[in-house]
Structures are given as structure tokens and as C-alpha cells.
Chains A and B, each alone.
Chain A
Amino acid sequence: MRSRSRSEAAIFCRDLHKQYRGRSGTVDAVNGLDLEVRRGECFGLLGPNGAGKTTTIEIFEGLLDPTTGSVEVLGMQWGQDDNPLRQRIGISLQETRFIERLTVRETLVLFRSFYKSGNDPDHVVAAVGLAEKSRSWVGKLSGGQRQRLAVACALVGNPDLLFLDEPTTGLDPQSRRQLWEIIRKLRNEGRTTVLTTHYMDEAERLCDRVAIVDRGKVIALGSPSELIATLGGEHVVEIALANRHRIPEAELADLPAVKEVGSDAGGIFLTVTEPHITIPALLDRLRSRNLDLARLTTRNASLEDVFVHLTGRRLRDDEILSA
């Protein structure tokens, strides 16, 4: 595993563990996590709530100490090179409520003052699209604008490495797209970005590589397209039967071009390579069993399907499989 030179990596961690003492014994928030983030890439930690994403990123940020395991950030180590490290990283926490009665610009000037070198606060304000709000109080900003301010505070020290913990959680679609634009621009400037998210579309659009995290471990790693390719098919056909009829999954697995069959409360889904071959055969099969279709949809396979394939669960808590 150590063949690659460590100093080339922006982040290099091995066998990371973090235990919390909870009311019901110890909880392993991070449980043997290995990771390597390359310089210049946008790297995503994707996983459901409680997977250990935030704990992991806060260990990388030097805000938490790991219980055991080694971490190198930009070739340096927390506990030895704290100040030089802090000079070179920028952080947006999952939730920070900045001082309400300061203006956007005043907030950025404050953060700028902590860094030996960095960006002009006015430039950063413009870069995140808050130029018009520069003299507004933070308390008057919308959720999306606050989140952009958080990113601006992360950028004002001109960091080589940027950490964004759930940058778009809770935002409306338009605000999310604005933030995605900003993050893409940062990547094009050659900065290394590590972000956590539980939105698969966000990871697919923004990240060069994604680590899927579940229960404190990396369960899959690669570019979004590589990960989707592991499913064997790039399309998903979802069906639901009329009158709540069910058909055993095994009876669909032998249909042409089908790679995998799964089901959840909403119906049955088939991972397929060529939907135009599978669908006619599927319809014939159902007709021969005297079963009527209530719904049939096709879509491209996503990281969500990868997660379901690996864990049998969905990424979002609110969509738990009934299995």
C-alpha cells in the first residue's frame, strides 16, 4: 500500500480509528479507514448520515484526534506542524453561525487577519458571488448566502487544501447549483478539495474520485463512473406490479442483459446493460405470469445504486429499504 510516495498525496491516512464513549458503551465512529487524496483532485466522502464522514474530515482538519491510526496532511502531521498546516488549509464546517451583526466583508477581514498570506477579502467576496452583499449583516443572509460566506472564509487564506463538510445540505436547488459552480472553479484553480456529502448527484457532478463510507469504513473507492461500472450495467429498470402482486427476484434474473435484481418497498429494480433488450423480454415474462405493470421507469445507474448494491440500504435515512 505504501508504494506511492506519501508526500505526493494531499492526505494519506492508514487504519484510522475514532471511538467515542457513549451512554451505551463505546461507539466506533471511524473504524479502520484507509484513504489517500491526491493533490489537485476534488475528492468526495459519500455516505449516509452517521457513516463517520464528519468525524473523518475533522480528524483531517486537526480538530479531532484519532484514537489510533496515522494521518499525514500535505506531508505534515497534526501535533507537530499545526501552525504551518493551518496556514495552508481552508475549512467550512458542517454548520457555523457567524456573528450576525458583522457584515460579510468584516467577517472576511477578520478571517483574513489570521493568515500570513492570503486573498484580498473583496476578491473572495466576488468569487463566491456575494459582492452585492458585502456590506450586509450576516444575520440578513439567506441559507445559501451564508454557506457561500462559509466557503469564502475557507478561501480567504488562499489554501492549498480545502475541506467542505456538507456544503449544500439543506439548501434549495438554485443555491446548490451556485455552490457547485464555485467548487468547480476552485478545482480548476488546482486546489485540492475534500468534501463530504450524502447527495449522490453532488458527488457525481463534482468529484474526480469518491470514497463511499459506511459504518466508519471505506467500502468503495474510485471515480464516479468507475464505481457505477462495477454494477456491470449502466442502466436501471424499475418496475412495480399492479394490485400489490409480487414476483420472485430469481424469476427476473435470467432475462437478457440483466446483471442484478434487487427490490425495496417501492418495487423491483434491475441493473441492466441494454434496456432495449431487457424491457421487451421483461414484458413478455410478466404477461406469461398474468401480472400487470403499475409502473415502469428506466434511468442511468447512479452512485446511489452502488451504495444500495454494497449495503442493501439507501443513502438517505428517509428512504430505508423494507427488504
Chain B
Amino acid sequence: MTKYYPLKELLRVRLLEFIREPETIFWVYGFPLLLAIGLGIAFRNGAEEQLFVDVQQHETAEGIAAALGRIPGLNVEIHPSSECQVRLRSGRVSLIVIPGHPCTFLFDPTRPESAQARQRVNDILQRAAGRVDPVATVDQFVTEPGARYIDFLIPGLIGLNLLGSGMWGVGYATVDMRVRKLLKRLAATPMRRINFLWSMIGARLVFMIPELVVILGAGSLLFGVPVRGSLISVFILALIGAVAFAGLGLLIASRAQRVETVSGLMNLIQLPMWLFSGIFFAPERFPAILQPLVQALPLTQLNYALRAVILEGADLVSQLGRIGFLALWCGFTIFFALRWFRWN
């Protein structure tokens, strides 16, 4: 007689359902890959950043434009005042040079490329007018793997993906089953209810492996991102992160009766982590008053630990504090998810 193992069957069903849904596979594996490639290309080293500058019509405009236009990376055009204004407002140029005495720079200082354009244009004009820089300087570019933006980005993308697929793979899927009354139907069988929750978390751990391989592999093959710590350590960190976010997904899904509700909740929960947790830039860029919040987010700690292991070759022992913090998150979310979970 065939022996049946409910946890195995529940897990198998989750895996089958997942691999039979091509669109999910794209969002889980294809999307982060495209994101990594796109950002990797955008921020690749050696590419000259293109700056666009307008010179307002004036008798000296031609000379200024000629001086600026010789510099690689600067794109200069001459236009009447009103047209320059429009082009600046619509973002087509970063800076307007208004010749005269004094020569005026018109720009929005909060736009980084405008500030950069102002700096470069000023230097060029000053030097053209005879300024001599008293200190000799030489630029040396960092192209060493491990210190570039793409190196910073890849561990962040791993964290981002673990967060997103934990929330969607567990939170959304659970509410969808509740809406379909499948949860109610399962609750009407002798199934041990804890097995259902383990199957949701277990399935996440299985899907996590190819996610990790895809992003780390793409980083390594396409951009030469190094993995300086052990792969086992990276794997263990990803595992803990996946459980923490699966728990969070389950907690959010524990009561929601509609998929719209859970989608909104998931975005609400993810938003601060997208912003503050150091996916695309370091969390230290936020003011000190926000740091307690920033540091308390699970993704912040996961990203720190992933970067330490991948980029600095740290071992897990040095990351125990962060691992412990994530383990607390796992325990807390799963405990309350179990407590509040509704089958009906």
C-alpha cells in the first residue's frame, strides 16, 4: 500500500504550482537578472558621463560654447533665453550658462548632474581665462573588483529579491488560497495545520537557491563581482533571510481576506526597506535621527551581512549579531503568524 507523507505532498504541490507558472518564474528570476544587468551597464566604470549644457545667446556665447565643447562628455548648444529656460525645466539640459559680468550659472542644486555640470563648466571657464591651480593633482580610477558600484549592488539585489519573493511567494499565495476557499477546505481535512505553514516556508527555501545562483552568477560572470567569503556562508545568510521574509509574508497574510488588501500591506511593509535598507546606496546616507529605524529593518541587517561576506570575505562568526537579529525576526513573525492565522 502506498504511504503518503502530507508535508512532502504539500511541498510538492507548491513546487509544481510554481514551476508551472511561467510569469512567476520571470518575476522571481528574470526580473532581478535584468535589473542587475541594467544597473551594471548604467554604472559601469570607464564610461564618460554625458552632461548637457546650454549657453544663452550673447555676443560671447560662441567662444564659451567652443571652449566647453572641446571637453569630452560635455554637450553644448546655444539658444535664446526663453528656450534655454524651457530646456532646463524639462530636464533636457542640466545647466544654463548666461554670459556677462558676472557670468551666471542657472541650475537646480538638488540635481546631482546639475551640480556636477556647474563644477566642471566653472573649472573649464576659469582655466580658459588663465586660472592656474597651485596644487598638482592626478586622477586615479578605482576599477578593482569589489570596490565598484556593481559590487555594492549585487548583494543588495540578493536582499531585495529575498524580500520580494518571500512576501509574494508566501503572503500573496496564502491570501489567494484563502480567497479560493482552499484554506477552508484544507482546514476541513485532518491535515496538521502547522504542516501547511511549513510547506509554505519550505517552498520558499527551495526557490531561494536558484534565485541566489542567478544573481550571484550574473554578477560574477558578467561583471566579475567577487565572492570573497565562503559560498556556504552566503547560502546560510540567504536561508535565514528567506525564512525571515517568508515569516513576514505569512504574518501579513494571516488575516487578510482579499488579495488587494495583502498587496497593499506588502507594499507598505516593503517600501521602507526599499528606501532605507541599503539596496542601491548605503543606509548611512540617512540622517542620524532615522538610523534607529533604518538599523531595525531586517533587510538592512541582511544586506550588511551579505556585503561583509561577499565583498570583505567575513566569516559567519563575525556576523553573529546580525544573524541573531534576523533569527529574532523569524521567531517573532512566525509566532504571531501562527497565532493570528485564519483559515476561513
Chain A interface residues (CB < 8 Å from chain B): 61-64, 83, 86-87, 91, 93, 95-99, 101-102, 106, 109-116, 120, 137, 153, 157
Contact = CB atoms under 8 A, between A and B. Distances in A.
B13 A111 contact: no
A141 B256 CA distance: 29
Nearest to B13: A110
Nearest to B188: A91
Contacts, number: 68
B13 A96 contact: no
Contacts of B191: 114
Given A110-B9, A110-B13, A113-B4, A99 B182 contact: yes
A93 B184 contact: yes
Contacts of B9: 109-110, 113
A99 B10 CA distance: 12
Nearest to A85: B190
A86 B189 contact: yes
Name which of A62, A93, A96, A157 has the most chain B CB atoms within 10 A of its CB: A96
B188 A86 contact: yes
B189 A115 contact: yes
Interface in B161-197: 180-182, 184-185, 187-191
B14 to A, nearest CB: 9
Nearest to B4: A113
Given A87-B190, A93-B184, A157-B190, 7 more contacts: A62-B188, A93-B188, A96-B180, A106-B16, A112-B4, A113-B9, A115-B189
A96 B190 contact: no
9 contacts: A91-B189, A93-B184, A93-B188, A96-B185, A97-B182, A111-B189, A113-B8, A114-B191, A120-B2
Contact of A102 (B2, B17, B344): B17
B342 to A, nearest CB: 12
Given A86-B189, A93-B185, A96-B182, A114 B21 contact: no
Name which of A63, A83, A113, A116 has the most chain B CB atoms within 10 A of its CB: A113
Contacts of A112: 4
Contact of A101 (B2, B6, B8, B21): B21
A109 B189 CA distance: 13
B180 A101 contact: no
Given A110-B10, A113-B9, A101 B17 contact: yes
Nearest to A101: B20
Contacts of A102: 13, 16-17
Nearest to B181: A96
B17 A99 contact: yes
B5 interface: yes
A93 B182 CA distance: 10
A113 B6 contact: yes
Contact of B16 (A98, A101, A115): A101
Contacts of A91: 185, 188-189
A205 to B, nearest CB: 26
B184 A63 contact: yes
Contact of A114 (B16, B182, B190): B190
B84 to A, nearest CB: 58
Given A101-B16, A110-B9, A61 B188 contact: yes
A239 B184 CA distance: 48
Contacts of B190: 83, 86-87, 114-116, 157
Contacts of B189: 86, 91, 111, 114-115, 157
Contacts of A157: 189-190
Nearest to B18: A101
A85 B10 CA distance: 22
